[in-house]
C-alpha cells in the first residue's frame, strides 16, 4: 500500500524560471515534498515526487510486491502517448491481466501491478479499470493531452480526496495531504452535520471538510485543459455500478458459487512477496479468512500468524447484551488451535485506549469511531511490528446480511438509518441552539432518502424483498464504508496493509441479487457464509451468534473519559464552546450508561459518545476550526 498526492492546473507553467525552473529550488517541489512527507506513514519504504509543466505527483511506498522494482511515480509510453501514474492499492488478478496485455507491443520493466495498470490504461483507456480485481486509488497524468485522471476501486476500499482551490485541483490519499498543499481546513454547516447527524459515517462523495470531495467508489474523474478560468474542466463517470439482476441459480448452485468466490478471493489476496498474517476474533468471518489462509500456507510448509484483540481484564467486567452475547477470546483460542496458527493475543488498557482517541483523529483527519477506532489503531501498530500485510473479515455482515437490522422488523421498518434512527440520542449533549441551527433531523433524513432512491432494484421485487434491498444498499453505502475507512486509516497509520477479501466486487455483485430466503436459509443468519465455512471451521465457531468488534466494559474507562471531557468542557476557551451543553453533560454523567442501546449501531453506545465528543474537541483545536 502507499500514499499518493498531487495537484493539477493550467493557469501557468510550473517549471517556468519564475518558480525556479527544473531545479530542486522550485517552490512547487517544496509543496510536493510537504504533501509527500505527511503521508509517509502510508509508505515508509520509498518516496518520490515528479513535477510537470502543469501537474505535480507525489508517492510514498510500502513495499509488498516487486520489492526491488515498482518505484513511483512510474512512467510508460505506447503509440506516442506518455503517461505517469501514482497508485495506492493491490491488484489481485495481475498475472491474468499481464497475460492479456502480452498481445500488445508494450515494454515491461517490472513484475508488479503498477505497471500493469499503467500499460493497460495506455492500451484501453479508462475501460481497463473494469478489468481490475483489487483495491486501488490512483492518479494518471497524460503529457500529450495535459489531462489528469483520478479513479477509485469499486467498493471504495482505498481512499482518495480532492478539492479545487484557487483554480488548482489538489488531491491526496488523506485530507492532510491537501492541507499540506496549503488549503486551510474549514468546517461549514454541512460539515458539522456530517459530524453529528450522520457521523462517524460520511455522505458518499463528501470529504468531511468544507468544499472537499472524495472520489466515489467505482468512479473515474478526468480533468482536462480549457480556455476560460479555472482553465480546466472535468467529467466523471462510474466505471462500475452495482446492479440487481434476476437470480436463476438454485440454492445448491448458489452455495457452490459463493463457496468458490469466497475461497478464490481469499487466496488471491494472499499474494505477497513478504509474509502475511490474519486477524482472528473467533467469529465466523475472520475465522473463515484465517482458516483458508492457513490451509493454503500449510500446503507450502508455512504457518500463518494470527492476532486477536481484547481489553485488559475484560473477562472480569464483561456484560452480555443484545448486541454482544459472548467474549471473543475462548473462540479465538479454539480457532487458533483448530487451524494450527501462530497466535498472539493483544490487549489494550484504559489509558492507552483513551490516549489513542486523539491519535485516531490524527490518522483520520476527522472525528471517527471513538474507542472502536482508537483501539484498532493501537492493535494495528502492534501487529505492524512483526507483519506488514494482514487479512481481515470486514464487510461480510454488510454483504451477507449479518446485522440485527437485517432481521429485526422493528429496525428495518424504521424508515431511517437503522443503526442510528434515534436522533434524540445524538442531540443529548449538544446545545439547543447548535442542534437547531443544524436541522439534524432534516439532514439525516435527506441523506437516508437520497440513498433509498438510488437503491439498485428489480421491478418484480415484492415489497418485502424491495425493503431488504434497501437495507442492504444502506449498509453498503454507509455502514460498510465507515468500517473500511476505519480499517484503512488505522492500519496505514503504522504502515500495515489490511486486505479485505469479502470486499471483492465479484462477491457483492453476485450476492446482492440472491433472494433473502437463500441468505437466511431456515432462519440461519448468513447461511451462505456458514455453508462456505463448513469445510474449514468447527461447529462451535460456524454457528456462533454474531459478536461485534470488542469494547471494554471496565467502568474505570468511562470514568476516565468523563474526567477528560469535563476538563475539556470547562476549560477557558474550550474547543467545545457552543457545541456541548455542560448541564446536559452533568445529567448524562449522573445517570447509568446503557451499553445495549446503540448511538451508532452495535459499536457505539453511551461511553463511546463521551469518547466521540473528546475527539470532536481535539479535532476543532488541532485543525483550528470555528463553530
Residues identified as active-site: 2
Q: Which of 83, 94, 89 is nearest to 140 (CA)?
A: 83
Please give the helix or strand (H or E) that residue 308 lies within, else none: strand 305-311
Rounded to 10 deg, the angle between the 440-453 and 189-196 helix axes is 80
Nine cell digits for residue 352: 492507552
How far is 444 from 417, CA to CA, in rounded Å?
8
Q: Residue 69, exposed/middle/buried by CB under 10 A (0-12, 13-18, 19+)?
A: middle
Rounded to 10 deg, the angle between the 440-453 and 463-474 helix axes is 120
Q: Helices (H), strands (E): how many in the chain?
A: 26, 17
Nine cell digits for residue 562: 468523563
Nine cell digits for residue 391: 487479512
Show the DSSP H helices in 41-188 as ranges. Answer: 94-101, 113-124, 175-181
Q: Which of 484, 285, 320 is nearest to 401 (CA)?
A: 285
SS3 78: strand
Residue 230, preceding peptide bond in cis (omega within 30° of 0): yes
81-91 vs 74-78, strand pairing mode: antiparallel
Nine cell digits for residue 262: 469466497
Give the position of cell 519564475: 18
* Cβ-contact 152, 158 below 8 angstroms: yes
Amino acid at each position: 500500500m502507499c500514499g499518493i498526492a498531487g495537484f493539477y492546473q493550467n493557469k501557468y507553467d510550473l517549471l517556468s524560471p519564475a518558480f525556479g525552473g527544473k531545479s530542486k529550488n522550485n517552490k512547487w517541489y517544496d509543496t510536493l515534498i510537504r504533501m509527500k512527507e505527511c503521508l509517509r506513514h502510508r509508505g515508509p519504504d520509498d518516496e518520490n515526487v515528479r513535477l510537470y509543466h502543469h501537474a505535480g505527483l507525489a508517492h510514498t511506498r510500502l513495499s509488498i510486491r516487486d520489492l526491488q522494482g515498482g518505484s513511483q511515480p512510474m512512467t510508460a509510453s505506447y503509440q506516442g502517448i506518455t503517461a505517469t501514474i501514482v497508485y495506492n492499492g493491490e491488484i489481485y488478478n495481475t498475472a491474468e491481466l499481464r497475460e492479456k496485455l502480452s498481445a500488445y507491443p508494450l515494454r515491461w520493466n517490472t513484475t508488479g501491478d503498477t505497471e500493469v495498470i499503467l500499460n493497460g490504461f495506455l492500451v484501453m483507456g479508462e475501460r481497463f479499470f473494469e478489468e481490475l480485481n483489487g483495491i486501488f486509488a490512483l492518479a494518471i497524468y497524460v503529457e500529450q493531452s495535459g489531462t489528469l485522471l483520478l479513479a477509485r476501486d469499486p467498493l471504495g476500499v482505498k481512499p482518495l480526496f480532492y478539492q479545487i482551490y484557487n483554480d488548482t485541483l489538489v488531491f491526496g490519499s488523506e485530507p492532510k495531504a491537501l492541507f499540506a498543499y496549503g488549503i486551510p481546513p474549514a468546517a461549514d454547516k454541512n460539515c458539522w452535520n456530517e459530524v453529528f447527524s450522520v457521523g462517524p459515517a460520511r455522505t458518499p462523495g463528501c470529504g468531511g471538510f468544507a468544499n472537499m470531495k472524495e472520489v466515489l467508489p467505482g468512479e473515474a474523474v478526468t480533468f482536462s485543459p480549457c480556455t476560460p478560468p479555472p482553465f480546466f474542466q472535468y467529467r466523471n463517470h462510474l466505471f462500475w455500478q452495482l446492479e440487481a439482476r434476476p437470480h436463476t441459480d438454485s440454492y445448491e448452485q448458489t452455495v457452490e458459487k459463493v463457496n468458490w468466490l469466497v475461497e478464490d478471493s481469499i487466496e488471491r489476496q494472499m499474494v505477497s512477496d513478504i509474509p502475511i498474517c490474519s486477524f482472528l476474533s473467533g467469529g465466523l468471518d475472520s475465522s473463515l479468512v484465517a482458516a483458508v489462509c492457513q490451509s493454503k500456507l500449510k500446503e507450502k510448509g508455512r504457518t500463518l500468524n494470527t492476532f486477536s484483540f481484547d481489553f485488559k481484564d475484560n473477562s472480569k467486567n464483561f456484560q452480555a447484551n443484545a448486541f454482544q452475547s459472548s467474549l471473543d477470546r475462548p473462540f479465538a483460542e479454539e480457532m487458533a488451535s483448530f487451524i494450527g496458527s501462530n497466535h498472539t493475543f493483544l490487549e489494550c488498557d484504559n489509558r492507552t485506549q483513551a490516549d489513542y482517541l486523539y491519535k485516531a483523529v490524527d490518522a483520520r483527519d476527522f472525528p471517527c469511531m471513538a474507542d472502536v477506532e482508537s483501539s484498532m489503531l493501537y492493535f494495528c501498530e502492534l501487529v505492524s511490528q512483526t507483519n506488514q500485510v494482514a487479512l481481515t473479515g470486514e464487510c461480510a455482515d454488510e454483504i451477507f446480511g449479518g446485522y440485527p437490522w437485517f432481521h429485526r422488523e422493528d429496525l428495518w421498518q424504521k424508515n431511517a438509518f437503522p443503526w442510528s434512527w434515534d436522533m434524540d440520542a445524538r442531540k443529548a449533549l449538544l446545545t439547543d441552539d447548535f442542534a437547531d441551527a443544524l436541522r439534524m433531523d432534516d439532514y439525516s433524513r435527506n441523506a437516508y432518502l437520497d440513498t433509498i432512491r438510488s437503491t439498485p432494484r428489480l421491478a418484480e421485487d415484492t415489497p418485502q424483498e424491495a425493503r431488504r434491498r434497501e437495507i442492504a444498499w444502506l449498509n453498503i453505502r454507509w455502514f460498510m464504508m465507515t468500517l473500511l475507512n476505519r480499517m484503512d486509516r488505522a492500519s496505514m497509520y503504522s504502515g500495515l496493509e489490511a486486505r479485505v477479501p469479502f470486499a471483492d466486487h465479484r462477491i457483492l455483485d453476485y450476492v446482492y441479487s440472491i433472494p433473502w430466503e437463500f441468505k437466511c436459509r431456515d432462519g440461519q443468519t448468513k447461511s451462505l457464509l456458514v455453508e462456505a465455512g463448513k469445510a474449514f471451521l468447527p461447529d462451535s465457531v460456524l454457528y456462533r451468534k454474531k459478536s461485534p468488534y470488542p469494547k471494554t466494559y471496565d467502568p474505570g474507562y468511562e470514568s476516565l473519559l468523563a474526567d477528560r471531557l469535563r476538563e475539556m468542557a470547562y476549560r477557558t476557551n474550550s474547543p467545545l464552546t457552543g457545541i456541548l451543553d455542560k448541564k446536559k453533560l452533568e445529567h448524562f454523567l449522573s445517570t447509568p450508561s446503557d451499553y445495549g442501546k446503540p448511538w451508532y449501531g452495535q459499536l457505539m453506545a453511551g461511553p463511546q459518545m463521551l469518547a466521540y465528543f473528546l475527539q470532536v474537541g481535539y479535532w476543532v483545536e488541532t485543525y483550528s476550526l470555528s463553530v
